[in-house]
Amino acid sequence: MTSERNSPHDAQAGAQPAPQETGAPPDAALPSADVALVIAFVTQLRRVFSAPSYRPPLLPTVALEVHELSFRSDVGADQLVEVLEKDAVLAAQVLRVAGSAAYGGWGEDDISLRVAVVRLGMRHLASVVWEVAAGMRVFRSARYAAAMEQIRRHSTMCAHLCRLIASRKALTTETAFLCGLLHDIGMAATLLVLSDRPKDEPSISPLVLDEVLRQTHQEVSGMIAQLWKLPAEVQNVLANHHSFPDGEPPSLLSATVAIAEDLSQKLGHGVTIGAGRCDRVAPETLARAREVLGFTDEQEAELRETAQKLSASVTQDFAPGKPKPVPSAASKTASAPVAAAPAVAAKPTPPHQARLPLWRRLGRVFGGK
């Protein structure tokens, strides 16, 4: 680690137990040596994340731009295609995911990027782009590959479940999807920091890692959301998906994420590092979430049944597969597939030129420049 990412043993002396997440299950009986390690790691991680030099995981600016454009009424399919073609690898993965079972399973081998954009619609396109970008750029660590894959699968499942719940409660489905997808970004960010530890340091036991993630990830998720400048509504949900503020009802979106997390775990898509407690939703949290969303017994039964079917569809899409090459956007007709060739980054059109300074500024923020 850098000077700000010292070994946790440097932080052990005089460290006090870090505050637990409100509503989290009580601590398991850990050996005293493991308790000391948890305290040291949590203390040092908070020091790293609060340092001015900390930079969050990098997201492609194309994902951010598509997200913003998808909420504008004056943007058409051709403009979105042009933006996607700036990142050929991202575009290829978007094309693959867009045709997967979770999004309708078109079953066509040759389909243009423009056809995919038109069929998905702008809001669904934003969800697909976020899902792909998070999988490509965020949930990746050679040192913690298995844990990251669990988090990716769990987050993807939660995203689709959040959209399902939001559709039942007249919430904005795409915002709910984004909250579900990114709610555990604090886990991924923590694993990336821990990946920087010197190779000669002892590995962290699963029990210790599980407890460290349990104590820190909600707090870190909220902080990452702020650094990414996500909407305030999303920031609030990511910072309060396991514990709701005292004295006031939880937001509908926070309640949605809590219920989606519990459903995801029951469907076999939980994060089960060590004792598997790092992402467990406390019974009192679930009770408050159910109360604020007002689900009847019949609605909950229907939700569980639909969630099982959704789980089967999403599970089919977890295998990485080979991304399809991106067809060129030279053909503007929605009916004619185009020869498969990686798209070359297109030069911005005049409408985009006025927007470039904003995205260059965001690029500097997310790239640490």
Per residue in 134-178, pLDDT (tens digit) is 887 788 888 999 999 999 999 999 999 999 999 999 898 889 999
The pLDDT of residue 307 is above 80: yes
Q: Tell me: pLDDT of 275 over 90.
A: no
Region 169-198 average pLDDT:
92
Residue 37 has pLDDT above 80, yes or no: yes
Query: Which has the higher per-residue pLDDT, 21 or 224?
Result: 224
Map the chain to HEC letters: CCCCCCCCHHHHCCCCCCCCCCCCCCCCCCCHHHHHHHHHHHHHHHHHHHCCCCCCCCCCHHHHHHHHHCCCCCCCHHHHHHHHCCCHHHHHHHHHHHCCHHHCCCCCCCCCHHHHHHHHCHHHHHHHHHHHHHHHHCCCCCCCHHHHHHHHHHHHHHHHHHHHHHHHCCCCHHHHHHHHHHCCHHHHHHHHHHHCCCCCCCCCCHHHHHHHHHHHHHHHHHHHHHHCCCCHHHHHHHHCCCCCCCCCCCCHHHHHHHHHHHHHHHCCCCCCCCCCCCCCCCHHHHHHHHHHHCCCHHHHHHHHHHHHHHHHHHHHCCCCCCCCCCECCCCCCCCCCCCECCCCCCCCCHHHHCCHHHHHHHHHHHHCC
For residue 123, what pLDDT is reported?
Answer: 67
Query: What confidence tens digit (pLDDT) does each residue in 353-367 have?
Result: 333 333 233 333 333
Q: For the domain made up of 143-295, give the CATH fold.
A: Hypothetical protein af1432 (1.10.3210)
Question: Out of 11-20, 89-98, 262-271, 276-285, which region has the weakest mean confidence (pLDDT)?
Answer: 11-20
Q: Considering the chain, what percentage of its residues have pLDDT values greater than 70?
A: 73
0.75 exceeded by the pTM?
Answer: no
Lowest-confidence pick of 66-75, 160-169, 224-233: 66-75
1 — pLDDT class (breaks 50, 70, 90): very low
Give residue 37's identity as a one-letter amino acid code. L
Query: What local confidence, expressed as pLDDT, does residue 117 receive?
Result: 81
pLDDT at 12 over 60: no
The segment(s) of the chain belonging to CATH 1.10.3210.10 are: 143-295
